[in-house]
Homo-oligomer: A and B are copies of this chain.
Amino acid sequence: MYRTHTCGELRLTDSGKTVRLSGWVQTVRDFGSMTFIDLRDRYGITQLVFSMETDAPLCEQARKLGREFVIQAEGLVRERSAKNLNRETGDIEIEVQSMQVLNASKVPPFTIEDDTDGGDDLRMKYRYLDLRRTPVQRNILFRSQLSLEVRKYLNEKRFVEVETPFLIKSTPEGARDFVVPSRMNPGQFYALPQSPQTFKQILMVAGYDRYFQIVKCFRDEDLRADRQPEFTQIDCEMAFVTREDILQTFEGLTRHLFRETLGLDLPEFPRMSYDDALRLYGSDKPDLRFDMAFTPLTDLAQGKGFGVFDSAELVVGINAQGQAGYTRKQIDELTEWVKRPQIGAKGLVYVRFGEDGALKSSVDKFFSETDLSAWADRMGAKPGDLMLILAGEEEKTRKQLSELRLEMGRRMGLMTPGDFKPLWVLDFPLLEWDEDTQRFYAMHHPFTSPKPDDIERMASNDRTMLKNLRADAYDLVINGVEIGGGSIRIHNRALQEKNFKLLGFTQEEAERQFGFLLGAFEYGAPPHGGIAFGFDRLCSVLNGQNSIRDFIAFPKNNMGRDMMIDAPSGNRRGSIGGVAA
């Protein structure tokens, strides 16, 4: 037996017990006559004491231990004279009577501390050492707890966890499939799922009523800053439900998770249409930790001789409360910020509402104080505020102003840690027009149902009318991050065929790819809908962190590469030579 207790377990009430602990040497402090070792495991740290007086050879041995050595020590629990109040075991220490080195350790290439000196690449290569650091370990343990709570809630609600296959056929969900050659069927390929979408719908047709799965999904695409080629979804589907049933169920799940993991009781989630989200915040995932909503100014701003505004499709502004103190230099810097290629604005107009009530703008040449005053009125600006205005092509301008709004939120400290503002965004468009390929794509996926009132208009050939079709689709957004999305699905063969047609599928293509689903719809498919949460993302948002990578035990880098095991590798057959192939 390697241990009678863990390193996080012993308390004052254990004094006098003979115990055995195993763990890692966190620190060795040598005071000549006494040596102290902090022994660490997943559960905590316990102080070991060695004394030259009682056992000189043992004490000498302890002195020589290096960081990260694995040892086993036996001794007597006793009360500490100098207690450590920051540590749960801080009332006691172990007077060591015998000790054994279970394994030595080389000096780690970076320090195993909360703030490490190791760079990204080094920590990825020695992931087993990085995983020992408390902040990383806390994340991984949090993830485990979160998945447990997800399962508790969904089981309580009678969801069945069903495993869907990983070796499937290619599905078209807006990104590329990883393909897997089949040895038993030469020349043929499986694909790894981008999501279990069609399978969960099949499970509804099969009568399973409520399905969930915490499941890996795969996307073979260029990795953006915070994407992984394999990622985890909480994937859910329900039969005989309306949108309202789904929103209630998964608002309930989200509330449960916040309560059980963070001890936070969230109020009812507000809802906003996709159109309103774009109109008010320029984004389908607005961060509602602060308002700073958009105010349209086109009508007020045009016709005064300022060419930039006059030629713009949209003039729109935000009001940064209490920021009238921005200096000329700060405003110039902000102007440069919006002109960066990542944002792409042509320029920035400001109106400073002085504490004295004076209105001062960068376009004073074209607009009188009365004009500016009308803008301020509409924007609800008060003395001391700073109005920021962008103009141009409508869609682009909204996006740019959305970025500026978020940047101002950051600069003004409005993204408070520990503040969570969830939001349901509803009624997404069904279709998205792509100028390059001159065709429609599914905004969500091809199985999303239009809103019942819009079904008739699907027969139209008018592009604008088709663009305005609304889907029974919804996203859950928290603090400006999309953590879940779903929809009511089509459950009728004719409607599904119509949708495929709008998406440019020939009948043969639809049949070849989704014949099984179209077929299933003919044998008593119930109305159904569902949602999928990005589990990695959910972990990071709940912890107020930006990177999902920190919540994945073995993440890949931006090249899709596992630096520790060195995969992928060119040596396709090499590994098979060595042992039983």
Q: Which residues of A contact B (CB under 8 A)?
A: 1-3, 6, 22, 24, 40-43, 68-70, 72, 102-106, 108, 126-129, 131-132, 137, 140-141, 143-144, 147-148, 151, 155, 160-185, 187-192, 198-199, 202-203, 205-209, 216, 218, 220, 222-223, 229-230, 232, 240-242, 245, 441-442, 446, 491-492, 500, 503-505, 509-510, 512-513, 515-516, 519-527, 552-554, 556, 559-562, 564-572, 574-581
Contacts and interface: CB of A to CB of B under 8 A. Distances in A.
Contacts of A491: 103
A570 B187 contact: yes
Nearest to A43: B209
22 contacts: A1-B245, A24-B524, A69-B524, A128-B206, A129-B206, A144-B162, A167-B218, A168-B562, A169-B568, A170-B569, A184-B229, A185-B561, A188-B569, A188-B570, A189-B569, A190-B568, A442-B580, A503-B578, A504-B578, A512-B571, A513-B578, A516-B565
**Residue among A147, A205, A552, A580 with the highest chain B CB neighbour number at 10 A:** A580
B179 A180 contact: yes
A229 B223 CA distance: 29
Given A571-B512, A572-B189, A559 B184 contact: yes
Given A151-B151, A577-B509, A166 B169 contact: no
Contact of A144 (B161, B169, B191): B161
A556 B206 contact: no
B140 A162 contact: yes
A575 B177 contact: yes
B103 A524 contact: yes
Nearest to A519: B126
A1 B241 CA distance: 7
A176 B166 contact: no
Question: Is chain A's binding surface mostly helix, strand, loop or mixed?
Answer: loop
A216 B491 CA distance: 30
B207 A242 contact: no
A476 to B, nearest CB: 22
A457 B6 CA distance: 34
Nearest to A553: B162
Contacts of A162: 140, 143-144, 553
Contacts of A104: 522, 524
A227 B522 CA distance: 32
Given A41-B209, A132-B207, A240-B3, A198 B565 contact: yes
A530 to B, nearest CB: 15
Contact of A566 (B131, B169, B579): B169
Nearest to A125: B516
A513 B575 contact: yes
B168 A192 contact: no
A148 B140 contact: no
Nearest to A207: B132
Given A42-B207, A128-B205, A166-B166, 10 more contacts: A2-B527, A102-B526, A106-B523, A143-B162, A144-B161, A173-B580, A176-B576, A216-B216, A503-B578, A504-B579
Contacts of A147: 161
A516 B176 contact: no
Contacts of A69: 524
Contacts of A173: 579-580
**Residue among A24, A165, A568, A571 with the highest chain B CB neighbour number at 10 A:** A568
**Residue among A72, A132, A559 with the highest chain B CB neighbour number at 10 A:** A132
**Residue among A72, A198, A512 with the highest chain B CB neighbour number at 10 A:** A512
A25 B567 CA distance: 52
B160 A567 contact: no
Contacts of A500: 578
Given A105-B522, A240-B3, A570-B188, A232 B128 contact: no
B208 A131 contact: yes
Nearest to A220: B183
B165 A562 contact: yes
Given A503-B578, A565-B168, A128 B202 contact: yes
Given A2-B240, A207-B24, A229-B167, A103 B492 contact: yes
Nearest 10 pairs between A and B by C-beta?
Answer: A170-B575, A131-B206, A105-B524, A2-B240, A172-B579, A169-B567, A188-B568, A68-B524, A174-B580, A441-B580
A202 B554 CA distance: 10
A207 B129 CA distance: 9
Contacts of A131: 203, 206-208
A70 B571 CA distance: 53
A178 B180 contact: yes
Given A166-B216, A554-B164, A1 B242 contact: yes
A68 B565 contact: no
B559 A185 contact: yes
Nearest to A165: B554
Contacts of A70: 524-526
B170 A574 contact: yes
Contacts of A2: 240-242, 527
A568 to B, nearest CB: 4
A218 B567 CA distance: 17
A566 B516 contact: yes
A567 B168 contact: yes
Contacts of A144: 160-162
A33 to B, nearest CB: 28
